[in-house]
Amino acid sequence: MSIHIKKSVIFIFILSSFAAKAQQQSDDLLSLVDKEKPKKEYVKYAFKSTRVINGQSMEFLSPGTMDFRILHRFGQLDQGYKNFFGLDQASMRLGFDFGLYRNLMVGVGRSTYKKELDGYFKYAPVMQATNGGSPVTLAVVGGITMNTSPWADPTIDNYFSSRLAYYYQVIVGRKFSEGFSLQLTPTMVHTNLVQLSSQPNDVFALGLGGRLKLTRRMAITWDYYHLFNGIEKGVNYDPLGIGIDIETGGHVFQLHFSNSTGMNERAFITETTSSWSKGEIRFGFNLSRIFQIKHNKNRG
């Protein structure tokens, strides 16, 4: 009886050895497969800036960085030499944007146009990635503006809320290749107080923005917003901007032409009063300088 027990123990030991060896081989094989499987990587630099020209892009700041941004717009070129082709006039927006996480950023700004203050957030629940990731970036933007200029008629009482406007956007974008990116931006702008009763408080628009890379440091960019309502014939027009991005280290310098004066979403979507077809075009530039204000080991 003891001989049978010994044989059983030896048999069980041999089976256990084979099972352990098979398990080890299986683990080694799985480990090899994991190493060979390409990792998902988020797509970067669809645009070289967090703005295309007028509007927001699908791009985000890195966590812990600040973008000091100057948007400058001169007068109309068709004013001729008496106004030095618009260079004697200028409006600007000074802004500070902050990257909080890989997919979240906020910003504030001040414009000379109507002395407006503005603030916004941009968040991407889905970001374009390779190796089985999403083929597009989906981002949402929400912002508020406040008109701080004196009332045109000081005898009329207006509430503080009359100075406020809001805008909401969805950005759907894709970097198709190293040289070409495209995005769509459905937008709604709500203005608490409009100048005329015929003007709607809610204006809906669809933006189209793109980037075409020319060289390692230069690219053509454009954005256009088509208004579905709120257009008064001969009074306001769809905003269109065309520019050239020049990357110089920590700077992104953009030269552009546009028919809009305002440089936040409420202003350029609802109050573009110049027309490209009439030659009412403004030259301008956007200057972006990135600062690292916090070193983040975990990048979002």
Residues 28 and 74 in one domain: no
Contact 38, 131 (CB under 8 A): yes
In a domain, 56, yes or no: no
Residues 98 and 11 in one domain: no
In a domain, 54, yes or no: no
Residues 33 and 70 in one domain: no
- Indicate the residue type of 168: Y
pLDDT in tens, the chain (300 residues): 555 554 454 544 444 454 445 455 555 555 554 555 678 899 999 998 999 999 999 999 999 999 999 999 998 888 777 777 778 788 999 999 999 999 999 999 999 999 999 999 999 999 999 988 999 999 999 999 999 998 877 777 778 999 999 999 999 999 999 999 999 999 999 999 888 888 899 999 999 999 999 998 899 999 999 999 988 887 899 999 999 999 887 678 999 999 999 999 999 999 999 999 998 999 999 999 999 888 765 544
Burial class of 182 by CB neighbour count within 10 A (0 to 12, 13 to 18, 19+): middle
How many Cα atoms are found within 13 Å in the side-chain-facing hemisphere of 116? 24
Q: CA-to-CA distance for 34 and 167, rounded, in angstroms? A: 45
Domain tally, the chain? 2
Query: What separation in angstroms does the CA of 197 have from each of 62, 95, 143, 152, 191?
Result: 44, 32, 24, 16, 12
Contact 56, 268 (CB under 8 A): no
Report the largest interatomic distance among the alpha carbons of the chain, rounded to a whole angstrom.
118
Q: Which domain holds residue 94?
A: 65-292
In a domain, 193, yes or no: yes
In a domain, 47, yes or no: no
Residues 144 and 240 in one domain: yes
In a domain, 162, yes or no: yes
- Domain CATH number, residue 104: 2.40.160.40
Residues 182 and 281 in one domain: yes
